[in-house]
Structure 1
């Protein structure tokens, strides 16, 4: 209990490799894959990007030309079919991570559901609380698109069909974290990145489509008004959420490969795969949307919980002619692109947004609280997922902040006109080229 996730966190702190666990106690024959997308370099490998530091910029350009999926008759995920009374969730090797986690959870499965009115199929990553062999709980946050779709089904008085895909390929796991507008199917973004359509198969019990080459698919439905007690879980904000009454999920069918590998994604205490992967794709979403309206945005990085604190890098010339640019960009990020985001920091092009020391340098030397801070109060929150909301107006209501850490506009920028105090670019390049000749080792 907790051993696998404790190993994963130490591995993440050391920027270690992906981990395949074998010989799992109590689950003979099962293997469990963890940490495959914790490191930025592995995210880059998965989408054929050679420079991990350029991952966000390259991904933002890759997803522009979507390619819809193609239906095939069958695939490896259909090799075994378990239907009805034979279904048994308990046989899967769920790693229990948090000290207060009471019931096991399917962590990080790709969840999919469909708008019954438009046919739009949404893809995201969700957890499934396992309550028995054939049912569980599904936590739907009201700011998310799958929760909106569930609301449509409830108005119709019908249960919502959905599926949990365990062991989708890394590209689909990444694009499932995009903050795309309503109506966009993440399967199309998979096609944009790979240059070919994703092969999908029809579910056994609904008209949903799932990846043909996945490891495991759990099919079922969320009834209109049936609820279950959801127990504490190590949530993405790094703390255990409390008990809550959440929608019930009824399992109808499981399909899987003959020798399926169980895929699990760690959450809770940072750093972990949820934070790293979710943050990287949140940054991609922000950069993609902001550059459509303002080409002066250079790059975006996500820190802290991954999507709670976002740093935006802009051209210095842009902030000089538009003093309110930081507030404008931050507002779009918080209210339009990433509803979970609570802090936006805007910096100049001479701040390395992948270097914490550089970011704090900008905060210390370019930020004046009385002029450069914008606070939004009484905005929509995420509930018990984020414990700080209780300190304000209660759960589901929160606050957000924008910190403008760019140089002040004229005539108040005199102290910055000579630039950061450092050697010339020519000398810096020379030192980089001659480094090994000085006797240093890389």
Structure 2
């Protein structure tokens, strides 16, 4: 290098980082969509995933899978923690294939109702992001895996697992037609 050049009205390309949603969150969403086909090639049981904006890239990943064997959710957690930047993911939530990981209300409902703390929570020690301020040590700490999938008898679940209670399409249409009659807007 021979010299440093400058100009009075310089443009400094950057993104602003802070409480989501900020500019960098959308880079995370782009990364999520770009890498999904590649991850699905390696792990075909993955249906979809979501890096919620509130997770700021790798604090949370919500993934839906085609569950095929006992312990499949834990296998996916460990697989994701084992690839590239996913090693920094502080929380992985695994759901059944029929759950849309982008529907955070349904995700919360499944997590709140489908887990038994002793059976379905996995605590794993491993690398954390350099910017993680929550762990006791820089770059190393504990991560949480949450198995919110339907449990099978082959996984030691001895009770019947109930189906979701849902209104029929006809009933939803009936209520919608009479909405104003019920005094609701």
Change (3 A) 1:294 1:269: closer
Aligned counterpart, 1:270: 20
Aligned counterpart, 1:39: none
CA distance in 2, matches of 1:297, 1:396: 28
1:85 match: secondary structure: coil
Change (3 A) 1:412 1:305: farther
Aligned counterpart, 2:160: 414
CA distance in 1, matches of 2:7, 2:138: 32
Aligned counterpart, 2:183: none
Give the number of equivalent residue pairs: 174
- Structure 1: runs of 5 or more not aligned: 1-82, 95-105, 108-264
Over aligned residues, Cα RMSD in angstroms?
Answer: 2.9
CA distance in 2, matches of 1:340, 1:267: 18
1:115-138 Cα deviation digits (max 9, x unpaired): xxxxxxxxxxxxxxxxxxxxxxxx
Higher Cα Rg: structure 1 or 2? 1
Aligned-pair distance for 1:343? 0.9
1:352 match: secondary structure: coil
1:65-86 Cα deviation digits (max 9, x unpaired): xxxxxxxxxxxxxxxxxx9536
Aligned-pair distance for 1:386? 1.5
Structure (1 or 2) with the greater strand fraction: 1
Aligned counterpart, 1:388: 134
Change (3 A) 1:407 1:280: farther
Change (3 A) 1:413 1:352: farther
Aligned-pair distance for 1:307? 2.5
1:237-256 Cα deviation digits (max 9, x unpaired): xxxxxxxxxxxxxxxxxxxx
Say whether 1:340 aligns with 2:88: yes
Say whether 1:358 aligns with 2:140: no
- Structure 2: runs of 5 or more not aligned: 181-185
CA distance in 1, matches of 2:114, 2:65: 14
Say whether 1:297 aligns with 2:43: no
CA distance in 2, matches of 1:283, 1:308: 17
